[in-house]
Amino acid sequence: MKNESSIIKAARRTIEMEAAALSNLSSLLDAQFEECINTLAVCTGRIVISGIGKSAIIAQKIVATLNSTGTPSIFLHAADAIHGDLGMVQSDDVVIIISKSGESPEIKVLLPLIKNFGNKVIGMVGNMSSFLALKADYILNTTVEQEACPNNLAPTTSTTAQLAMGDAVAVCLMERKGFAVEDFAKLHPGGALGKKLYLRVSDLCGENEKPAVQAEQTLKEVIMEMTRKRLGVTAVLSTEGNLLGVITDGDLRRMLEKTDNIEEIKAKDIMTTHPKIIASSEMAVNALDVMRQNSITQLIVADDNTYKGVIHLHDLVKEGLI
């Protein structure tokens, strides 16, 4: 590229180096990785993840990811562990220790203590001849050729590799345990993400009015019902209560454009006989998709042709789904 600034060059070099390291990381996956996943999958306690410095920060992120995907985990700072917090580790826990060098003084003190407790130790390490690599029960190899730091000192490429390895572990455990969307929803009930995963049409339409008219009712009665219920729509029902069609504000406007003789018009004359409907058991986010695809602002809710109500775009806006 012409006249590329030194800033852009440095940023591009950093990203390309880290991308190359991640690409190489996949080639380091072997039987040891599979043994780690199997060990973690059958753990009856928690996954305790420890580290020092930048590796400790990565450990906290991995703990958060594991907890949110159904694997109970806690963070244990390596320095705090050897000053009293080691009591957090229970007999049925599996411990993951993260370190680039595998030679940190805190790690050298911590690892033998955990081994003496009888816990399995997994080392996520970037030096395969290090103390951690040689003493751990299993190894997650996060070796990188060099840091993106121009002095090859600041943890950059190495922490990216640790982060990616943690994600790989979490995803493999999800698949091993059959962790589904429903399970994810249970652990993420708050915010827009949670609502997209658990909020159903029935949760919203039940709070709305249920505008409805009979097929033989007059235009005036239709307008009065739509005005009272203030949803811009009304269902048209048979005498048995089955859904026959729907009338919207748009249907009324189009009817008035076509005729001046409105005295004899009945609901059945202007209703749409095959309206867009959605089942009450559907996810609310699916209702939003239907509205967007058809450029409409409300949907009739019906189960087996039984009218249940109306869900409006405003309901979805209010819940933060848009």
Please state which CATH class domain 201-318 belongs to: alpha beta
pTM above 0.85, yes or no: no
* Gap between the Cα atoms of 228 and 124, Å rounded: 65
Which pLDDT score is estimated for 112? 95
Q: Identify the sign of the CA torsion 18, 23, 27, 30.
A: positive
Name the stretches of the chain with pLDDT < 70: 1-3, 181-195, 197
Which pLDDT score is estimated for 162? 97
Which pLDDT score is estimated for 222? 92
Query: Does 3.40.50.10490 match the CATH number of domain 6-179?
Result: yes
Which pLDDT score is estimated for 290? 92
Which pLDDT score is estimated for 302? 93
Distance from the first to the final alpha carbon of the chain: 39
Q: Identify the sign of the CA torsion 70, 71, 74, 75.
A: negative
Phi, psi of 147 (to 5 degrees): -75, 155
Residue range 71-98, pLDDT digits in tens: 999 999 999 998 989 999 999 999 999 9
Which pLDDT score is estimated for 142? 97
CATH 3.40.50.10490-classified regions of the chain: 6-179
The residue type at 263: E
Q: Tokens for 97?
A: 């220790």
Which pLDDT score is estimated for 189? 62
The residue type at 84: G
CATH 3.10.580.10-classified regions of the chain: 201-318
CA torsion angle 188 63 170 145 (round to 10): 140
Q: Is 188 annotated as a binding residue?
A: no
